[in-house]
Structure 1
Amino acid sequence: MVASPGIRRIEGLIQSHPSQDGDGVHIQRIHRFDGELDPFLMLDELGSDRPDDYIGGFPPHPHRGIQTLTYIIHGGITHEDHLGHSSTIQAGDAQWMHTGRGIVHAEMPLTDSQGLHGFQLWLNLAAREKLSEARYRDVRSGEMPRLQSGKGELIALGGSWTTQAGESVAGPLDSLAGDGAVAHARLEAGGEMALVTSSETLAVYVFDGALQIAGENVAAGQLARLGEGDTLALSSREGAQCLILAGTPHGEPIVHYGPFVMNHMHEIDQALHDYRNGSFTD
């Protein structure tokens, strides 16, 4: 693709790093609680064909002040929470959780012939929503609309997406924090895709193959943060898959402690107090 003044260029590359969470689950993680990717806070990639890397799962634990979005490439995740939700998502499915004031949930991995591969995103809630009512929703693969473009396909999980040719789709998750939009893009070898987007925050996480963004290389395990412009130009010489994240920053203070994300430290102290004295989910 030929670059033009409207093409969004890479302003920074963030390398994912190995970490563990839950009961020893191995993950690749990118976290930015400094507001660099606002409203996005964290991206975890779970991917292994070794059950010992993830079989312990994520036993019951609390959250306050965020949304989570979990998306499965293969394998699956079961979910249970104190509100009575109990469900399983599998390849191509997603689950969205608005923690608001508080939710206690557990997530346990499932495998298929390829093991487990999925993602969990954390999105920050605006201050006015931090203590709102908790909500939960499953989204099945068949509910997610697709766009085809130049040996490429975009799967819209949430938000609106438009190609340079004028084709548009809107994902079923329409309540993502910070006007958030999330999509899964797949490019065949020699594939190209051009999307029109003016979202202030725009990032692309490559998880398979290698991608070129406005001609610059991004390898698997890297997240590219994009600068200003109105067109996201993707291409791949060998084929690639990525997640595309777009949103509007809240521009508010962020204070993070474990599973709690608030605006001020006294609110973190209150969350800890509420959880310890049993009033967290009242």
Structure 2
Amino acid sequence: MSQSRLPAPARVVRSVRGQPTSDGAGVRLTRVIGAPGLPDLDPFLLLDEFGTEKAEDYIAGFPSHPHRGFETVTYMLDGRMRHKDNHGNEGLLTSGSVQWMTAGRGLVHSEMPEQESGRMRGFQLWVNLPASEKMTAPRYQEFAPERIPVVHPAIGVQVKVIAGRVGEVAGPIMQPATDPLYLDIRLEPGAAWDFVLPDGHNAFAYAFEGELDIGRDDDARPLPAQQLAVLGGGALLQLHAGGQGARLILVAGRPLREPVVRHGPFVMNTRQELMQAFVDFQEGRF
């Protein structure tokens, strides 16, 4: 591709640092999307990072709770999490595995640590569903680490392709409604990589190890660990790691541009639909 045909560089239009909170039965985590600093980023509703070696921070887990109208994406970096739901589905998420759960019209599930000590680390992302799919049957896309392709697109760069494409390599997750991109990127010290973001998507980068720059030369903006960068302005994302290297997730999705009415674990398009979700749950119709 000639230089004249390269897309405009992406820039950091906003940076956000997560807020400590707890969820479930007292699991300590950092809320990055879904906190006052960034309530949402269409189609993304929430991003939590959890990471601790203290069992008391995670051992209580997330006992049975309902969902309707959106998807939850759990990506485990370290540790083991057992999930069950009221439809008879059960599985074990191990280090490096991902679960993309489409709650659709509703289910009740639990996510409980299957370990009593050691490191538990990962992310949970909530992705909105369009109105046309909010009442679909629940389903799971769950993949062990060996089923997630790994590519090395540049010297000192490793990318796990969970969803979307890097070159000719596609991730295993498929969701036509939002056409998501979800990459786990590791940069060795000083390594650089340019990547063209999907056209028309909202995108963010979240660094969780080390530090990197986004952009080049005078336009570069630092992204330290535990900080999220909302990307915009162009499609050419330019990453450059600092002296200690960096690790980040890069996530993008097609915005739905629909009304969002949400409360707790229910995300609908109208207040009437939201109230119906509470009624259906209370009457056991999930």
Shared fold, TM over 0.5: yes
Pair 220,87 (structure 1): closer, same or farther in 2 beyond 3 Å: same
Query: What amino acid is the match of 2:8?
Result: G
Q: Does the aligned pair in 2 maintain the 1:75–1:112 contact within 8 Å?
A: no
Structure 1 length-normalised TM:
0.92
Say if 2:230 is the partner of 1:225.
Answer: yes
Identity %: 39
- How do 1:147-162 and structure 2 match up within 5 A? 147-148=151-152, 149-161=154-166
Say if 2:231 is the partner of 1:234.
Answer: no
Query: What amino acid is the match of 1:194?
Result: D
Q: Secondary structure at the match of 1:104?
A: strand
Cα distance in 2, alignment partners of residues 79 and 46 from structure 1: 17
Query: What amino acid is the match of 1:66?
Result: F
User: Shift of the alpha carbon at 1:267?
Assistant: 1.0
Pair 110,92 (structure 1): closer, same or farther in 2 beyond 3 Å: same
Structure 2 length-normalised TM:
0.91
Pair 89,207 (structure 1): closer, same or farther in 2 beyond 3 Å: same
User: Shift of the alpha carbon at 1:90?
Assistant: 0.8
Q: Hey, what does 1:269 align to over in structure 2? A: 275
Q: Hey, what does 2:3 align to over in structure 1? A: none
Cα distance in 1, alignment partners of residues 265 and 63 from structure 2: 13
Match of 1:250 among 251, 256, 264: 256
- How do 1:1-282 and structure 2 match up within 5 A? 6-32=8-34, 36-111=40-115, 114-148=118-152, 149-161=154-166, 167-175=167-175, 177-197=177-197, 198-214=199-215, 215-237=220-242, 238-279=244-285, 281=286
Query: What amino acid is the match of 1:261?
Result: V
- Root mean square deviation of aligned Cα: 1.9
Cα distance in 1, alignment partners of residues 177 and 210 from structure 2: 29
Cα distance in 1, alignment partners of residues 114 and 226 from structure 2: 23
Cα distance in 1, alignment partners of residues 14 and 138 from structure 2: 34
Pair 47,78 (structure 1): closer, same or farther in 2 beyond 3 Å: same
Q: Deviations over 1:54-88 (max 9, x none)?
A: 10000000000011110111112111011211110
User: Shift of the alpha carbon at 1:109?
Assistant: 1.6
Q: Does the aligned pair in 2 maintain the 1:62–1:103 contact within 8 Å?
A: yes
Equivalences, count: 273
Q: Can you give the 5+ residue segments of structure 1 that lack an aligned partner in the other structure?
A: 162-166
Cα distance in 1, alignment partners of residues 158 and 200 from structure 2: 21
Q: Secondary structure at the match of 1:270?
A: helix
Pair 112,187 (structure 1): closer, same or farther in 2 beyond 3 Å: farther
User: Shift of the alpha carbon at 1:200?
Assistant: 2.4
Cα distance in 2, alignment partners of residues 263 and 110 from structure 1: 36
Cα distance in 2, alignment partners of residues 176 and 41 from structure 1: 18
Q: Does the aligned pair in 2 maintain the 1:39–1:180 contact within 8 Å?
A: no
Q: Secondary structure at the match of 1:179?
A: coil
